[in-house]
Structure 1
Amino acid sequence: MTDDTNEALAHDALAGDDERPAVVDGSGIADLTGIHALFEGDSGDMPIQAREAAIQLKRNRAIDGALFDQAMDHLADVRRSLNNDLLDLLIDEHYRVMVAVPVRADGYAVRSLKNRASLNAREASLLAALRRKVLEYENVDVPSEGWEVSREEIVQVLSTGSGFLAGRNSEQAVHEQVDRLIGTMRTNGFLEDRGDGLYLVTSLVPMVLDPAHIDLWLGALDAPDDDGEAPPADADEADDDGEVTEEKDETLW
């Protein structure tokens, strides 16, 4: 094989986003080691775009928008990086959102990089209410950027009718519980704060409650954790009427 041929192979291997020249040794053999190196001693084999998407998936609950497109462009690399950390990739191309979920290694006592997210019954009730809100928007063709819900709407839906806060004697206790629930929704990536008491319902809500994924959490109530034991219930919590209630977590992923 000629020097020109090896140089051409090296150039082809580096085609795309990485424009740095390949190293060709004295014998004309293309050395492709470290072509994606970002620091001294970096032996990684993924381009920066794939690394960025994988890091965000490991760090956050979900990615969407431009980062979703970026991950799709480097899907094999992103998936391989997640699998190395015992994470699987769920993709919803309709809502253009993806999330990394922990998995178990059969026969090995090795835990995933991420812990499973879980919701108790009250949090799951709010999630269902947010899904209904999304359906209302979808029925009138409102894009996902406009899926807003106010804090007062959340208070209203949870404290009236069949809402689990209906009939509570203390308005202050109702608002405190709603604030805690909203905090959980934000932590899990279902709501984004837009200020002035408004929140954006993210595309993760319809993705999680899609029939293809719903068993990941609704069907996993009391499922054993990574150590083979059932997840503990939340600490006993006294409601505003002084009644102590015990809630079990529903596993999301």
Structure 2
Amino acid sequence: MEVDFSNIKVIGFDADDTLWVNETYFRNTEEQFASLLERYETKNKIDQELFRMEIKNLELYGYGVKGFVLSMIESALELSNNRISAQTIGEILQLGKDMLLQPVELLKDVKEVLRQLQGRYRLIVLTKGDLLDQERKLEKSGLSKYFHHVEVLSDKKEDNYRHLLDHLQVDVKEFLMIGNSLRSDVLPLLNIGAQAVHVPFHTTWQHEEVKIEENDYDYLKIGKLSDILGYLK
């Protein structure tokens, strides 16, 4: 598609599954969780119950590993009719700790893209999730030096973006968001008058999936992050 980014001065990057691997760890943990509860229910039922619990708890716990762990424990109690052992609950807690201790695996060409854009644009990170965990990942990633600002949002809706851009004194017409989620990183920005680029990751959480007609929204979709360099002159 034809795009014009000539007026862009500020670029926002999603973090999880845009800069580094994240969702893969959740999917692997779900597999382990289902194995722990296989005596009580089928894997399909366990997966459905866990997703239902995560969505129910979003308003209480928000996004991130800690809320995910609490939802796993609550699901285990319900699926087992409160017969789950203290040992198994301990194993679920350990699954969560293992997730928090995972190394930060940068996606391909992330550092090179940021290196080339730094100085030409004001770069910021706009992510959601647990503040402590996101700060940990950013520190371990070695990417902090490329960004003017880092913001961990409670959610990524139109008002969240609008208020943040106002706070940072960024003109919405001069802002470009890059991320892997249509629901969180693309559509809200388009709806407030900014521009957005979709760079899909091979695994997407159900809650982030959204079906739209391609002609309904005007945004750029690229296959990998480094492709953006061809559009930013």
Which TM-score applies when normalising by structure 1?
A: 0.25
Q: Which structure carries more strand by proportion?
A: 1
Task: Name the larger-Rg structure.
Answer: 1
Higher percent of residues as helix = 2
Q: TM-score, normalised by structure 2?
A: 0.27
